[in-house]
């Protein structure tokens, strides 16, 4: 019984709160099942399943807080957990940035739980793997893949009357297919809340096609190219921007959102006017949790609209200090896209590079959000509207801020790692060297 019902969770939280003597007490109960299956060289290498339930108590005296976690929910354990959290809190140093706990909140009814995913069992995992290994080995290709699924719940409550409960499921699947001679490699990755949307055979087929099409890649000169980024590749870089919209570092002068002479670039047009970035906990494609890590309710927010920075992330502490409303921190970001398919984008490209994904991306300069990394698992040269041949992988040095000023087109969206990201056609993307890696 790893998933408690709302009522069961509420009952336990109320019981814990009744034992508490601290000024403020917060209780979180979480639990669920995580399963996985991993394969390589067309054979399953590991698989496992973990069931976990835990309860965390945070006790606060003044501005001193302490936490304790237990994995047993009997009365004796609950009492001990409260006592231990209170003991740790008494010994803790004051946190000058401590914010009093929130009172009751209005949370949206999330759509994060899907029973099909909750019902995954070892046989289902083996089937998903078999549907991926089978076609690869039939075509004399080598598959390596990984599936991880989760089904669980979280409930939170505090001594000021706040209560929230949410169930969620997720499934993450990735597959690399390589040719036996090692000259071709393809990749595809998908994530969903609902496992019935995952067809591992179809996803593997994409990786197989890329593996075969990328064999014997040719070297072309690095430099500035128009690139068509599949949503996976675009998501690899855009997530670095959308998670950097922090108000505090901008106010402190240590962010790309800091302004020369002090202040921030809130309200400035930093990107092409086609760029709109927002979040919506009720998005059907990327449903979000009802609250963020501070318990603050998630609501639809515009972060960038028509290229203008509309909002930054304000924590409760920083919002109070700056005299604004906290924003919450969304679990997923949506970048508005368009109607064009990848094929449409290729057709309109005179000379360019199609990128499947990026790899080993690391920050080079936080001042400009410059990142480096490499293309991987399917990189192709486009000429006169057609894919001509596979090319060797490139290293890039590029900033998502510059990319969003060099937009040629935004295409159809796809869910990528919990975000909703369009395919992107970007001009003057900077490749700085070649790699022999396949």
Partner 1 sequence: MKRRDFIHLSGMGLGALATSGLVMMGNPVSAERLLEPGIDAAAKKVLADIALNSAKAKGAAYTDVRIGRYLRQNLFTRDKNVQNISNGETFGVGIRVIANGTWGFSSTSDVSPDGIKKCAENAVAIAKANSKLQKEPVELAPEPGHGEVTWNTPIRKNALEIPVKEKIDLLLKANNAAIDNGAAFVNSALFMINEQKYFASTDGSYIDQDIHRIWPTFTVTAVNKESGGFRTRQALSAPMGMGYEYMDGLAEDKIMNPAGFNSYKNTYDIVEDASEAAKHAQEKIAAKSVIPGKYDLVLDPDHLGLTIHESVGHPLELDRVLGYEANYAGTSFATLDKWKSGDFKYGSDQVNIVADKTQPFSLGNTGYDDEGVKTKEWDLIKNGVLVNYQAIRDQVGILGEKESHGCCFADNWSSVQFQRMPNVSLRPGTEKLSPAEMIKNVEKGIYILGRGSYSIDQQRYNFQFGGQLFYEIKNGEIAGMLEDVAYQSNTQEFWNSCSQICDKDDYRFFGSFFDGKGQPSQSSAVSHGSSTTRFDGVNVINTGRNI
What residues between 46 and 85 interact with partner 1 by CB under 8 A?
46-48, 50, 54, 56, 67-71, 84
Question: Of these, 11, 18, 95, 121, which contacts partner 1 (CB under 8 A)?
Answer: 95
On whether the CB atoms of residues 172 and 26 are closer than 8 A, the answer is no
Pick the piece of the chain touching partner 1 (CB under 8 A) from 190-198, 379-387, 407-415, 429-437: 429-437
What are the phi and psi torsion angles at 414 (to 5°)? -145, 150
* Beta strand 419-434 pairing with 224-229: antiparallel
What minimum distance in Å lies between the beta carbon of 438 and partner 1?
A: 7
On whether the CB atoms of residues 123 and 314 are closer than 8 A, the answer is no
DSSP 386: E
Question: Of these, 1, 7, 93, 221, which contacts partner 1 (CB under 8 A)?
Answer: 93
Q: Which is nearer to partner 1, 56 or 105 (CB)?
A: 56
What minimum distance in Å lies between the beta carbon of 21 and partner 1?
A: 17
What minimum distance in Å lies between the beta carbon of 6 and partner 1?
A: 23
CA distance 136 to 208: 7
Question: Is residue 214 close enough to count as binding partner 1 by CB under 8 A?
Answer: no
Question: Is residue 427 close enough to count as binding partner 1 by CB under 8 A?
Answer: no
How many other CB atoms are found less than 10 A from the CB of residue 372? 18
CA angle, corner 30, sides to 24 and 31, nearest 5? Answer: 160
The interface with partner 1 within residues 113-172 (CB under 8 A) comprises 122, 126, 142, 144-146, 148, 150
Q: Which is nearer to partner 1, 259 or 274 (CB)?
A: 259
CA distance 385 to 383: 6
Question: Is residue 258 close enough to count as binding partner 1 by CB under 8 A?
Answer: yes
How many residues at the interface with partner 1, by CB under 8 A? 80
Question: Is residue 96 close enough to count as binding partner 1 by CB under 8 A?
Answer: yes
Q: Which is nearer to partner 1, 84 or 427 (CB)?
A: 84
Cα pseudo-dihedral 82, 86, 92, 93, rounded to 10? 120
On whether the CB atoms of residues 211 and 179 are closer than 8 A, the answer is yes
Question: Of these, 74, 138, 181, 261, which contacts partner 1 (CB under 8 A)?
Answer: 261
Q: Which strands sit side by side in the sheet containing 163-179, from one edge to the other?
A: 64-70, 43-61, 24-40, 141-158, 163-179, 185-192
What minimum distance in Å lies between the beta carbon of 7 and partner 1?
A: 26
Q: Which is nearer to partner 1, 262 or 284 (CB)?
A: 262
Cα pseudo-dihedral 15, 296, 278, 197, rounded to 10? -10
Question: Is residue 428 close enough to count as binding partner 1 by CB under 8 A?
Answer: no
Identify each DSSP E strand in 180-271 by its residue range: 185-192, 224-229
CA distance 245 to 304: 10
The interface with partner 1 within residues 341-360 (CB under 8 A) comprises 359-360
CA distance 416 to 286: 9
Give Cα 202 to chain centroid, integer Å.
23
Question: Of these, 1, 7, 91, 140, which contacts partner 1 (CB under 8 A)?
Answer: 91
Computed over its alpha carbons, how large is the radius of gyration of the chain?
Answer: 24
Q: Which is nearer to partner 1, 10 or 139 (CB)?
A: 139
Q: Which is nearer to partner 1, 146 or 429 (CB)?
A: 146
The interface with partner 1 within residues 357-416 (CB under 8 A) comprises 359-370, 372-374, 376, 393, 395, 397, 399, 401-402
Pick the piece of the chain touching partner 1 (CB under 8 A) from 6-14, 42-50, 110-118, 228-236: 42-50
On whether the CB atoms of residues 185 and 377 are closer than 8 A, the answer is yes
CA distance 438 to 435: 8
Question: Is residue 272 close enough to count as binding partner 1 by CB under 8 A?
Answer: no
What minimum distance in Å lies between the beta carbon of 81 and partner 1?
A: 10
Q: Which is nearer to partner 1, 199 or 432 (CB)?
A: 432
Question: Is residue 267 close enough to count as binding partner 1 by CB under 8 A?
Answer: no
Site string for partner 1, 304-343 (x = CB under 8 A): ----------------------------------------
CA distance 1 to 8: 11
What minimum distance in Å lies between the beta carbon of 339 and partner 1?
A: 29
CA distance 35 to 251: 42
């Amino acid at each position: 019984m790893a998933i408690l019902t709302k009522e069961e969770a509420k009952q336990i939280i109320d019981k814990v709160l009744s034992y508490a003597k601290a000024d403020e007490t917060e209780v979180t109960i979480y639990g669920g099942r995580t399963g996985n299956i991993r394969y390589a060289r067309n054979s399953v290498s590991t698989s496992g399943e973990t069931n976990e339930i835990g309860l965390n108590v945070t006790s606060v005296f003044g501005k001193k807080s302490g936490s304790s976690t237990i994995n047993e929910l009997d009365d004796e354990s609950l009492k001990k957990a409260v006592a231990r959290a209170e003991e740790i809190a008494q010994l803790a140093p004051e946190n000058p940035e401590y914010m009093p706990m929130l009172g009751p909140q209005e949370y949206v009814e999330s759509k994060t739980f899907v029973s099909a995913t909750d019902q995954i069992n070892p046989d289902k995992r083996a089937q998903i793997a078999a549907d991926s290994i089978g076609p690869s080995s039939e075509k004399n290709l080598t598959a390596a893949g990984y599936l991880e699924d989760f089904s669980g719940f979280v409930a939170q409550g505090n001594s000021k009357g706040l209560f929230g409960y949410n169930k969620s499921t997720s499934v993450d699947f990735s597959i690399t297919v390589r040719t036996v001679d090692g000259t071709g490699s393809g990749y595809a990755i998908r994530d969903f809340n609902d496992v019935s949307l995952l067809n591992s055979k179809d996803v593997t087929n994409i990786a197989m096609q890329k593996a075969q099409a990328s064999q014997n890649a040719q070297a072309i000169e690095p430099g500035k190219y128009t690139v068509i980024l599949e949503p996976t590749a675009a998501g690899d870089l855009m997530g670095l921007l959308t998670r950097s919209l922090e108000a505090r570092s901008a106010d402190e002068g240590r962010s790309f959102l800091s302004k020369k002479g002090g202040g921030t670039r809130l309200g400035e047009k930093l990107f092409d006017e086609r760029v709109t970035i927002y979040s919506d906990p009720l998005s059907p494609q990327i449903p979000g949790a009802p609250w963020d890590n501070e318990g603050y309710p998630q609501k639809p927010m515009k972060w960038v609209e028509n290229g203008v920075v509309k909002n930054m992330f304000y924590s409760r502490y920083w919002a109070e200090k700056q005299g604004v409303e906290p924003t919450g921190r969304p679990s997923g970001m949506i970048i508005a896209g368009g109607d064009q398919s990848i094929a449409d984008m290729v057709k309109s490209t005179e000379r360019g590079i199609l990128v499947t994904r990026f790899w080993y991306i690391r920050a080079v300069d936080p001042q400009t959000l410059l990142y480096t990394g490499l293309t991987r698992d399917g990189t192709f040269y486009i000429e006169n509207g057609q894919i001509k041949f596979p090319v060797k992988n490139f290293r890039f040095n590029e900033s998502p801020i510059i990319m969003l000023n060099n937009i040629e087109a935004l295409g159809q969206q796809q869910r990528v790692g919990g975000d909703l990201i369009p395919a992107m056609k970007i001009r003057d993307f900077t490749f700085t060297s070649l790699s022999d890696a396949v």
